[in-house]
Amino acid sequence: MLIVIAVIFVVALVSPWIHRVFREKSGWVLALLPLGSFIYLASWLPHIAGGNVVQESTAWVSMALFNVDLAFYLDGLSLMFGLIITGIGTFIVLYGSGYLGGDANLPRFYCAVLLFMGSMLGVVLADNLISIFVFWELTSFTSFILIGYSHEQENSRKAALQALLVTGIGGLALLAGLVLMGFASGHWEVSTLLNEGNIVRDHPHYVAILILVLAGAFTKSAQFPFSFWLPGAMAAPTPVSAYLHSATMVKAGVYLLARMNPVLGSTEIWLLLVGGFGLATLLISAWLALSFTDMKQILAYSTVMALGTMMMLIGLGTELAMEGLAVYILSHAMYKGALFMVAGAVDHEAGTRDVLKLGGLRSLMPISFVAAALAAISMAGIPPLYGFIAKEIVYEAALGAPLWSVLVIIVAVIANIAIVAASAIVVIRPFLGKKVETPKKAHEAPLSMWIGPLTLAVLGVLLGVLPFLVDKALMVPVASSVYGAPLDFYLSLWHGINLPLILSLLTLAGGILVYRNWDGLRESSPMRLYQTGFAQFPISGYDGLVSGLLGFAGLQTRFFQNGLMANYLITILATLLIAVGYTFITRSGLIWDPSFENVLVQEWALTIGIFTSLGIMLAFGHSRLTMVIGAGVVGFALALIYLMHGAADLAMTQVLVETLTVILVVLVLIHVPRIKDARSATSRVRDAGVAVAAGVMMTLLIFAVTAAPFDAFISEFYAEASYPLAHGRNIVNVILVDFRALDTMGEVVVVAIAGLAVYALIKMKRFGSSGLSKAGGAESSNAASKQGKSS
């Protein structure tokens, strides 16, 4: 499994070169990758159907507290998601080659969509908690690139950022929840946790773990009130919407909770939170779909409704709910992926997705019409499509809900009535409605754009008529994985006349009635108010929150980062005094046990002389050069102290560094305008107080450190190991070059960058730089003035 994911990532990185070689055929070539991955995963079906699992692990990161392995786990649940990701991914790559054909950014699409595919496969196959999070965040990053594909358009950039922020914040919560779960259980492999659910559920931090994991899952799977980002992401090209926002990424949260059901489920709070939020999401979003006329917006809100249904089923936790979840996930992926691709084909060939501006496309786009009709029938839950079987089991599960079953079934029926109407809207209006003049002369889409939706739609018919093709082979292993215990059931299109069938007929009749009155309903005041409250208000709340954060960031930036170095130093030192000083005093108390017995007379004389001369310079000197020289005197004096103790090499290094520092600082100060220090007496007193306090605190810390018992282990280790291990007799050099080589390299890089910055400042013209406008020059002058004032 690691090889499959690694190959996808590698091919994704070289896909621009593949496109350069094969040009318009590149989509067909690249589609072989997900197709081959699909075939590989499908080859495990007999093994998984036999009740077995597949595990593999590769050591990755080793830490003191726990190890992070690239461990993978293939069972019924991960296999079905893997087949959906690679199967639909094959059609998406083909579809993208036609939809985005001729676009200069098409190679970037190939790269991003394949990176996303590998990341999503990693999420569903990963067995280690931290590995799951790593792949989880990779899906957020790659989806950000895909949603913002048309980056020159503001709405695309805004939608991409919105999706990234919402799912990113949820991802941080998920990380905290996964880490807590790992420490609470003592296990970091999901396959082990599946058998240790009682440890987590009985842990005092169970509620915190649950809330954090739910935050990550709810944001990713667009549950209310986080559902607003998914319809906004429809600014992405249709291949992205069809893949990410119907079949794969938005189901990551569903997958996570389904996977964690044996670990976190079977509690009352799980039922209330997961089932409750799912129920609210499916009801709210289903009717929001009827307030729009854009085909992708209608499908987007119906997707949110489907995600809410899946969450509701996971929350219910019964055997029937798990069976319904397995069937519903597969059914939804097929019909929704097909409908999104048809909507894109209509937009691509007719020039609009607005159903009010479309009509009569049946004769102009016959293949797309067949695919759309079959997929919409499945979405509406009408026999003999696979969607009908899914809806029947959902109704059965709702009727058997362990809590508030009457409310659950009523909400499910009301929501599905809206979905039946939405299914009719996206097919009847564009294809069977009165023929109208479209922005572009419509015609059938190319093969690459209709082969995917037609295959998925026909597959919905095939599995509806012959459900035994997948019930034992895939649906039973999926339901068993989610339930946490072996299940056994079969699927059938006809179960006789029963309550779920009666509810399905009621749903169909209600949907037809709503569709016939859709125009009036859509324009009605209650529907507009409903749209404002549940679609526009969350977006306005998000925009207000982001604007508030940006405003606060600007305020604190203007306050703390105002260009005055003196303020920066005061802020840093004051924070250090408060944080370190408070901790020092409260934790260990003041320690005053100085020992001056071993201090030599010449050291006392040198110290008194240094501070006397330095004090005179700072008190009476008004020149920057005087202050720099005074600071340099301290450095040279330290070199003398090193020399007194026999550290000649260290003293030489100190002299060289101090000399270079003084020279560089003087060279820089030459280019800083001469500005008189205008600080008030109060400011001087404040600065002196902070400086003295910082010095006192450092002195006390040194006394506390030296009062502690001295452990010579590290010193002895370096003394003993320097020559045998590093072949060096100079211990300091060996430490810097061998034992702390990476630290030294980092410090050298920092010094080099600082040197380049100093060189740039020295060479930069004070006024009239050719690269700056007059306004820019004025701003630079003001900044230099502030810098001079702080100096």
Q: What pLDDT score does 780 carry? A: 41
Q: Which long-range contacts (CB under 8 A, 24 or more apart) does 163-167 make?
A: 163/229, 163/230, 163/232, 163/233, 164/140, 165/546, 166/219, 166/226, 166/229, 166/542, 167/140, 167/143, 167/219, 167/220, 167/229
> In order along the chain (791 residues), what is the average pLDDT of each group of 10 residues?
91 92 90 94 93 88 73 93 94 92 88 94 92 93 91 88 91 93 88 89 92 94 89 88 85 93 91 93 92 91 93 92 94 93 92 90 92 95 92 92 88 94 93 87 90 94 93 93 90 87 93 92 90 88 90 85 77 86 76 66 76 68 70 79 79 84 77 65 80 84 77 81 82 82 86 83 57 41 41 37
Selection from 36, 15, 25 nearest residue 98 by Cα: 25
Q: What pLDDT score does 64 carry? A: 60
Contact 777, 767 (CB under 8 A): yes
Contact 423, 460 (CB under 8 A): no
Residue 680 lies in a domain: no
Peptide bond before residue 16 is cis, with ω within 30 degrees of 0: no
C-alpha radius of gyration, the chain, whole number: 34
* d(C-alpha 423, C-alpha 372), whole Å: 9
Residue 517 lies in a domain: yes
Residue 17 lies in a domain: no
Residue 386 lies in a domain: yes
Burial class (CB in 10 A: 0-12, 13-18, 19+), 501: middle
Residue 317 lies in a domain: yes
Q: What is the largest CA-CA distance in the chain?
A: 106
Q: What pLDDT score does 676 carry? A: 63
Task: Identify the domain containing residue 321 by its residue range.
Answer: 280-523
Residue 406 lies in a domain: yes
* d(C-alpha 286, C-alpha 415), whole Å: 5
CA distances from 516 to 67, 421, 424, 503, 687 (A): 60, 9, 10, 20, 77
Q: How far is CA 469 from the centre of its chain?
A: 37
Residue 24 lies in a domain: no
Identify the bridge partners of residue 409 per DSSP, sorted by sequence position. Answer: none
* d(C-alpha 527, C-alpha 453), whole Å: 32
Selection from 297, 292, 304 nearest residue 238 by Cα: 297
Q: Which residues contact 209 (CB under 8 A, 6 or more apart)?
A: 177, 180, 181, 184, 200, 203, 264
* d(C-alpha 554, C-alpha 302), whole Å: 39
Q: What pLDDT score does 615 carry? A: 67
Structurally, the chain folds into a number of domains equal to 1
Count of all residues that appear for the chain in the document: 791
Q: Which long-range contacts (CB under 8 A, 24 or more apart) does 563-571 make?
A: 563/782, 563/783, 563/786, 563/787, 563/790, 564/786, 564/789, 564/790, 565/787, 565/790, 565/791, 566/679, 566/687, 566/789, 566/790, 567/790, 568/790, 570/686, 570/687, 570/690
CA distances from 77 to 143, 256, 327, 482 (A): 23, 10, 11, 7
Residue 422 lies in a domain: yes
Q: What pLDDT score does 392 carry? A: 92
